[in-house]
Amino acid sequence: MLRFLFRRDLTESNVSRFVRHFSLEANSVQKKQVPVSCNDSEDNSKVLIRFPSKFYQHSFDSFESMIAKEKSDAKSYILIEDKTNGKLDSIPKEALEKILDSSITQMYKYHLGSRGYCLVKLDDYENFADRNNKNFQHQSFPVYARMFSLLPNSLKLIKDELSTEPVVIPDLLRNRKCWLKFIHEKNNMDSNEFIDNLVNSVLLNEVEAKLRFFLINQFEELLCTGPFNRCQVYPFGSSVNGFGWNQSDIDLFLTPETLKSPKDNAYGLTSASSQNIAGDNNDTKRVLQMLHGIINEFVPAVKDVNAILMARVPIIKFDSIASGLNVDLSFFLDSRDSGIDIAHVLYEYSRLDVRVVKLMIFVKLWAMQQGITRSAPGVWINSFGLMMLVVHFLQVRSPPLLPPISHLNVIYDPYQASVTKQTNDLCYDYKTPFMTLLKEFFDHYARFEFENYGCNVSDGLLIKKPSSNSALYIQNPTHRYLNVSKNVQNTELAKLVLIARASHDIISRGDHVSSLLKPFSRKSINIGDLY
């Protein structure tokens, strides 16, 4: 027997909710499915090539198509929690179809520690929903959701169909930490093989990505009703930027649909609406306060719901029990303020060259292990700032691996610098081994003149710091007048430089790359130089 956790009535408008495609100019890099020649030369260094990738999120044609396809597919999924003491693991597809009385297109079984789940894609979700809209837990508030509990009496229907073969079900909690064993176990792999295994163990795979979009669809169906019925929920950050870790938080934002202005209506009619929203922090706080109550009271399988309204970007934080992940939900009147454009840029970069993915993932792990970045905000560089340092290095090295952000035509930028190099003036490097790139990265920032210069990732340029007030200057690619690393203090920047120098020395003497992911001693990096 299946039982709903909550209930909400389905309507045709909810099922066919508009999926927005983020617009790009026609000559955007993501539109190009073949190598793009910078000129008529046969020299491969003059060709900007996108290499085939084995990573799941790189299998889509574009950033927009990935989000649209995943959100569309998620409308056919349900999530089943095992309440049968582990018997769900042994239920084959045909037997589960008998329990659901529905044809299954795809299914993903997974564990979160002792809890078992199955993410199921149904061939006809609407028919299933019509037949199963009254099975609720006793005394629960009847709000419809796509999450079910599989109870022991369900097994009566299929008692002779349970699989007797050993079944290996992935434990997502264990998998999200398995990269640690590569560091601490005796390593017989060479450095390149180690990097490959490390990246594969960290990046989002298909089930992790599908689970995230299932939750996005669940939140959208539960939140985007009533006064929010013209809003949508979208992901940004690591869930969609092509560099996502399987243990990363789920970053979401709620935003209104793009609506026609009254002058576009031939009959001159407009709908009655509530008071105007200016889109400032006070409006954002009011919206999030309302959403906080809805999530806390009515959304199933969440806990520790907190509204953090005094932050620079107010958010609602909560834990998703069914995914074992933290969720941050924000509200933006204009989606361009959300970070979706930056996620788009990084996604395009992640698809250009697998070495970019390897370097980004390794540097993020290295910085986390060495205490350069931390999970909480503070006076140290954050994950986004670190990613911009990697991007800038790959833009300014000679020859570059990445084009300037302005060449991707993803971000509308009225301040685009006139001195930006044209694409046909750039030669790209497709030959340098990854370990050489890693060594160059450490050397680059061990020698970088942070006191005088900053990073312009929009144009791929080294620039003079506009002010000496900040230890580290990284120009914000979406708002050029902002410094994304304004919070970083001198001691934290000096720590980054010292650890980069020590890391360069370790690689130069031929030590295994895994040693860079073990925290350095204070003596090994001359930590006293910081004080």
The number of distinct structural domains making up the chain is 2
Summarize the chain as % helix, strand, coil (round to 5): 40, 15, 45
- Report d(CA 347, CA 342) in Å as an integer: 8
Element containing residue 483 per DSSP (H, E): none
Distance set, CA 469 to CA 225, 473, 492 (Å):
46, 9, 15
Among residues 163, 189, 215, the one where a domain terminates is 189
DSSP line for 408-441: GT-S--TT--TTPPPGGG------S-HHHHHHHH
At 267, is the pLDDT very low, low, confident or very high (cuts 50, 70, 90)?
low
Look at 96 and 531; give whichever has higher pLDDT.
96
40 lies in some domain: no
> 89-106: per-residue pLDDT in tens?
999 999 999 999 999 999
Q: Which two tokens stand for residue 23?
A: 């617009």
DSSP single-letter state for residue 258: P
- Determine the pLDDT at residue 4: 41
> 105-163: per-residue pLDDT in tens?
999 999 999 999 999 999 999 999 888 776 655 555 667 789 999 999 888 888 888 88
What are the backbone angles phi and psi of residue 112, rounded to the nearest 5°? -125, 85
- Determine the pLDDT at residue 23: 29
From the CB of residue 5, how many other CB atoms can be counted at a distance below 10 Å? 21
- Determine the pLDDT at residue 277: 65
- Determine the pLDDT at residue 18: 24
479 lies in some domain: yes
- For a pLDDT cut of 90, what percent of the chain falls above it? 60
Q: How much is the pTM?
A: 0.84
Distance set, CA 116 to CA 79, 83, 85, 135, 323 (Å):
11, 8, 9, 21, 11
3-class secondary-structure state, position 300:
coil
276 lies in some domain: no
Q: Which two tokens stand for residue 333?
A: 């009147």
3-class secondary-structure state, position 342:
helix
Distance set, CA 122 to CA 2, 307, 402, 432 (Å):
15, 35, 41, 46
- Determine the pLDDT at residue 145: 83
Determine the longest span between alpha carbons in the chain, in angstroms.
76
Please report the beta strands in 113-249, taking only residues with DSSP state E, as ranges in sequence order.
115-122, 147-150, 231-236
With beta carbons less than 8 A apart as the criterion, state whether 502 and 446 touch. no
CATH number for the domain including 373? 1.10.1410.10
336 lies in some domain: no
H-assigned helices in 32-158: 63-74, 93-100, 125-131
Contacts of 183 (CB under 8 A, 6+ apart): 369, 514, 517, 518
Place of tokens 């399988």: 301
3-class secondary-structure state, position 21:
coil
315 lies in some domain: no
Mean pLDDT for 271-289 is 76
Residue 420, pLDDT > 90, answer no
317 lies in some domain: no
From the CB of residue 200, how many other CB atoms can be counted at a distance below 10 Å? 13
> 176-206: per-residue pLDDT in tens?
988 888 787 766 788 899 999 999 999 999 9
278 lies in some domain: no
Among residues 156, 189, 222, the one where a domain terminates is 189
320 lies in some domain: no
DSSP single-letter state for residue 151: -
- Determine the pLDDT at residue 409: 81
Contacts of 422 (CB under 8 A, 6+ apart): none
DSSP single-letter state for residue 53: -
Among residues 189, 218, 242, the one where a domain terminates is 189
Q: Which domain holds residue 156?
A: 2-16+71-189
- Determine the pLDDT at residue 225: 85
